[in-house]
Amino acid sequence: GTESQAGEDTVLSADGRRIAVWSDTRVKVVDLVTGRARRASSGVDGTVRAEPSGWSPDGTALVVRDTVPVDEDGTGYRSVLTLVRLDGGGRVRLAETDHDHELGSPVAFAPGRLAFQSGRTVVVSDLDGRRLSSFTLARDDELAGKGAWNGDTLTVARRVGYSWSLRRIDPGTGRDLGALDLPAVPDVTAIRLLGWRADGSALVAAFVPADPAPAAFDVPTSMNQRLAYGSVGTTQVLALHRGASAPATLLTAPAGVVGIDVAESLLRAGRTRVANPPTALGPRFWLWTFLIPLLLAGLVAYRCRKGIALRLDDRRVRRARGR
């Protein structure tokens, strides 16, 4: 019933086993293997919406973004970013800012530290909340996504016209370290870096515009607007191979799928498979084909139970007389 978006406020754990979703004022964490669910609370007072922003690589912590009114009348809102340790190890307040700054979109983890974007600023902190550095991004740059860490450097996505490419920056100063030898992604509203393969190629989610006219996105626009439901027609997963002239398409979602997330363990292992949906009647058809007649038979038997009991009794009497 809400406009939740995969990879933005509905996120997979690194091993792909759990998913964190928005659920009112607390985040719900669902185990996709067992179906069990638990709540993860940031402990922020007065929150009206709590959304997951990213998982730690080991799955023991979750970054949660809360929306909190600035007053009782709701004249404005602020965003609070918190690292929640799911093993009971407490919570760490990472940042707080005006709600319009799109705090924590995205969050990227590295061993012992994380990076997140707030407006045009990137903040790098350790897992105890100590700020290690912060810097302002160039006008057309965005922190690339949850896979933004590439070794000891950060990756940004740079827009040039209607095309996006990946560049390295220094995580201490934000200094531009140059473009990566990867192909640009043309004709999309934006890209999000999902992670890196062992061969050095990058996997990105590419957001194909709903409107084929590109002019609307050939200008500086917030990422929220670029990823909004009305802006995106479908989503692709692309592989950017070193030295290649164009991206390789791994997946194109059906029309109307406006977000996608992929577990980091899958990216590192490089495992893929071809989906094999039923080509004829699926298992649900056969389930209901047998279940509905069974239910109807049970209902008829229940409603006619007195007549059935009388007939059975008559048969018993006739057998007794015969003997």
pLDDT of residue 10: 92
CB–CB of 207/215 below 8 Å?
A: no
State the Rg of the chain over Cα.
26
On average, the pLDDT of the chain sits at 88
Q: What is the pLDDT of residue 176?
A: 95
Q: Does 51 or 281 have the greater pLDDT score?
A: 51
What whole-number distance in Å separates Cα of residue 27 and Cα of residue 25?
A: 7
Q: Per-residue pLDDT for 3 more than 90? A: no
Tell me the C-alpha distance between 22 and 8, whole Å.
11
What integer is the mean pLDDT of 29-47? Answer: 92
Quick one: pLDDT at residue 118? Answer: 92
Largest CA distance in the chain: 103
DSSP for 247-290 reads PEEEEEPPTT-------HHHHHHT--------SSS-HHHHHHHH
Looking at residues 108-129, what average pLDDT do you find? 94
CA–CA gap between residue 102 and residue 118 (Å, rounded): 6
Model confidence at 119: pLDDT above 80: yes
Distance of alpha carbon 189 from alpha carbon 228, whole angstroms: 10
Inform me whether the pLDDT recorded for 31 exceeds 70. yes
Query: Per residue in 282-322, pLDDT tens?
Result: 677 777 788 888 888 888 888 887 877 788 777 777 777 77
Question: For 6-10, 43-47, 215-219, 229-233, which range has the lowest pLDDT when averaged over its residues?
Answer: 215-219
Give me 234's structure tokens: 């479908």
Distances (CA, A) of 169 to 12, 24, 150, 172, 253: 26, 37, 10, 9, 31
Return the top range by mean pLDDT from 140-144, 160-164, 208-212.
140-144
The pLDDT-based confidence of 72 (bands split at 50, 70, 90) is confident
- pLDDT number for residue 277: 62
Phi, psi values for residue 63, rounded to 5°? -90, 130
**pTM for the complete prediction?**
0.81
- State pLDDT tens for residues 146-183: 999 999 999 999 999 889 999 999 999 999 999 999 99
Q: What integer is the mean pLDDT of 124-148? A: 95
pLDDT value, residue 227: 85
Q: Which pLDDT band holds residue 101 (cuts at 50, 70, 90)?
A: confident
Instruction: With beta carbons less than 8 A apart as the criterion, state whether 194 and 262 touch.
Output: yes
Q: What percent of the chain has pLDDT over 90?
A: 55
Can you list the alpha helix ranges (DSSP code H) found in the chain? 223-226, 264-269, 283-303, 305-322
